[in-house]
Structure 1
Amino acid sequence: MEASSDHEDNLKRDRGIRNFVTAEDVARLAGVSRSAVSRTFTPGASVSADVRLRVQEAAKTLGYRVNRLARSLISDQSNLVGVVGANLSLPFMARQLDELSRALLRRGMQCLLLNAAEAEQGITPLIELILEFRVRAIVVMSGSPPSSIIDDCVANGVRVILVNRQADDAETDTIISDDLGGARLAAGRLLQAGCRRIGVVGSGARTPTQLRRRVAFAECIEEAGIEPVVWASGETTYETGIEAAEGLLASHDLDGVFCVTDLLALGFLDGARRMGRRVPDDLSVIGFDDIPQSAWVPYHLTTVRQSMSDLTEAVLTAIEREMHGKDMDLVHEVLPVELVERATVRPTA
């Protein structure tokens, strides 16, 4: 058997096939035990200075890297955090993922990203796949996992953190921005500007975030005795914003519009200007999210800001909480928002 193994190794070398350098390879070159190599690369472990130096020199010579996945299987403690998200190219989602992944790295954790854009059967298969990597926690940025898969996660000691979405009667951490409060801020600001012919623009995506914002805004406008005009069609894109402007403004003489995302609002602004509407003189527009593009000079969009740093910190706090089986201490946090005044709403009437 040993001769056969040597022969296979020689064949691999001859063919240019290379394997990962193992701890056993380092131990052989350094003339130490396998456990000495492990202790050398384990913070706080006891190893003599001479052995540590020999192991480090051998590792450098061979190009050895610690197999952290294998180590997590042995220690039952992973530094991997699974992240499930869709529409990752949207500005708000891209920024959220960027900040979260960088924050995880600063805390010594790694991001395992699964794109749910084509998860036709829901996100359950993705979460099942993530569990196979023995992750420390799962952050769900898109979709709503059923309680059955959440129970499996909890049984395996894995926290499930839902961002801007909720699961009924499930053992999950939930972190959402104050969509209801933000929509009310937008409604109040348009009313203060003297707007009385008001519309609300969303896409055809019935995400929890969009529904909360659209419904809360409409309720506030109705309380003021105004029946809002609603657009809820298409994808959540800049192009849908243009379509909404062309469709609504051609049939309604609106003087105020709330778009449930900034991306829709930017498209709406450009569509309205193409139709000769002057912003904010003829038409006031408010968005939601405060994506970087909202502050660009051609738009200077008045919007509702949700703090990305607060959102990221809340997710990290949830990840780092200890698990205690079914009695674990869950995080349920609603993050405050604020209205950012720029140049797309008339002064208060």
Structure 2
Amino acid sequence: MERRPTIVDVAREAGVSKSTVSLVLQQSPLVREEKRVLVREAMDRLGYVYNRSAANLRSANVGLIGVVINDLRNPFFTEFATSLQMALSARGYATVLANTDEDPAIQAQVVSAIIEHGVSALIISPAYGEEAATFDAIARANIPTMQVLRKIDPRIELFPFSAPDYLSGSRLAAEHLVKGGARRVAFVGGLEGRAVAQERMSGYFEVMAEAGIEPFVLPGRASRAFGHEAAAILTRDHPDIDAAICFSDLVALGLLSGCARIGRKVGEDFRIVGFDDIEECAQVYPPLTTVRCDIAGFGEAVASTVLNWLEDNQAPINDHRTPVELIVRDSSGGRVNA
């Protein structure tokens, strides 16, 4: 038996968004007459029958966006989620927010629950592992979904991806340290084999090769605890390393405090650059040089992209990167910007 045509089929046939079809079915005056005609003609061609009672049951969830975040304990992701939620709210959409705590099983569970609530779209910063359990379920539900900050599922034609330009960020950081006189630069943090770690250190590798400096990577979790531990490891086992680019600001802040504990002067004996520019970077001592990703602006841009997709049928670019900049502070020996 052939399946019954859905509202998504009608939208595709008419060349309009799912939201436009919904408004036509609700007899909304917001839809222009020419689009109303396109939708009605597509319904006739497909044999679509509007189930008004089912639609009434779903109506409470119109304008609901699901947001799934891998680690809301990290201020970087918290700021993104907050700016995203506020931008969606400003456009009249409510948000269902879930934290997966880097657990793919929890991610699959919450995504399934969010889908059952009838969300209009999903925005997901995904956890690593067991990707099919999450993304195959989304594909079956045929819900517009964006991957952000981490590209886990390679099907970007189905799940478009957007993130800051991590490669350019690590290149800016590495060039700054080399030009400032660093003789040996380490890359600290980031788990081996993960695409986001590889991307964040790729510019670093390029600059080290250009400068004729042997790279050194100290992998580890993106946490203050690891950064604190790394200070002792680098000082004890690799005394020739006089600078470090960190996978994240949390690692860099831990490295900063670890150096203070062992008496290593940051900004003089040892130079540190973080990545993300969370609020605390400008408040610690010495203030932390970092790669600013403008995560608040990024959240607002993602909201706009998803709503343009829903409301105007403007599909996002499959793989989009946003600009970053280096914010130079005392931890790298410079005082250029705040």
Name the structure 2 match of 1:334: 321
Are 1:162 and 1:173, in contact at CA under 8 Å, matched by a contact in 2?
A: yes
Deviation, 1:75, is 4.8
Name the structure 1 match of 2:233: 247
Quick check: 1:174 aligned with 2:174? Answer: no
Quick check: 1:80 aligned with 2:67? Answer: no
Point out the more displaced range, 334-343 or 119-128. 119-128
2:280 counterpart (280, 285, 293): 293
Q: Deviations over 1:146-168 (max 9, x none)?
A: 46864654564521111112231
Change beyond 3 A, Cα 1:43–1:240: farther
Name the structure 1 match of 2:12: none
Deviation, 1:335, is 0.3
Deviation, 1:93, is 1.2
Are 1:301 and 1:342, in contact at CA under 8 Å, matched by a contact in 2?
A: yes
Are 2:306 and 2:316, in contact at CA under 8 Å, matched by a contact in 1?
A: no
Gaps of 5+ in 1: 1-41, 46-69
Amino acid at match of 1:164: L
Change beyond 3 A, Cα 1:118–1:284: closer
Are 1:203 and 1:236, in contact at CA under 8 Å, matched by a contact in 2?
A: yes
Name the structure 2 match of 1:60: none
Q: For the residues of structure 2 that align with 1:210 and 1:293, how far apart are their CA atoms?
A: 22
Quick check: 1:159 aligned with 2:137? Answer: no
Q: Deviations over 1:226-249 (max 9, x none)?
A: 11221112x321111100111111
Higher relative contact order (CA 8 A, sep 6+): 2
Quick check: 1:186 aligned with 2:150? Answer: no
Q: Identity over aligned residues, as a percent?
A: 31
Name the structure 1 match of 2:111: 127
Q: For the residues of structure 2 that align with 1:218 and 1:337, how far apart are their CA atoms?
A: 18
Quick check: 1:110 aligned with 2:94? Answer: yes
Amino acid at match of 2:149: N
1:263 counterpart (250, 262, 272): 250
Quick check: 1:309 aligned with 2:296? Answer: yes
Gaps of 5+ in 2: 1-25, 30-53
Name the structure 1 match of 2:213: 226
Q: For the residues of structure 2 that align with 1:248 and 1:72, how far apart are their CA atoms?
A: 62
Quick check: 1:199 aligned with 2:189? Answer: no
Q: Secondary structure at the match of 2:232?
A: helix
Q: Secondary structure at the match of 1:282?
A: coil
Q: Deviations over 1:205-225 (max 9, x none)?
A: 754322211233123213311
Amino acid at match of 1:168: P
> What is the count of residue pairs matched by the alignment?
280
Are 1:200 and 1:218, in contact at CA under 8 Å, matched by a contact in 2?
A: no
Q: TM-score, with normalisation over the residues of structure 1?
A: 0.72
Q: For the residues of structure 2 that align with 1:243 and 1:337, how far apart are their CA atoms?
A: 28
Amino acid at match of 2:114: I
Q: Deviations over 1:82-129 (max 9, x none)?
A: 111122111111111121122222221111122212634373333222
Q: TM-score, with normalisation over the residues of structure 2?
A: 0.74
Q: Secondary structure at the match of 1:288?
A: strand
Structure whose alpha-carbon radius of gyration is higher: 1
Q: For the residues of structure 2 that align with 1:43 and 1:206, how far apart are their CA atoms?
A: 52
Are 2:58 and 2:118, in contact at CA under 8 Å, matched by a contact in 1?
A: no
Deviation, 1:293, is 0.5
Q: Secondary structure at the match of 1:121?
A: helix
Change beyond 3 A, Cα 1:74–1:134: closer
Amino acid at match of 2:94: Q
Are 2:71 and 2:102, in contact at CA under 8 Å, matched by a contact in 1?
A: no
Q: Deviations over 1:173-199 (max 9, x none)?
A: 211100000000001000001101211
Point out the more displaced range, 78-87 or 164-173. 164-173
Change beyond 3 A, Cα 1:76–1:105: closer
Q: Secondary structure at the match of 2:305?
A: helix
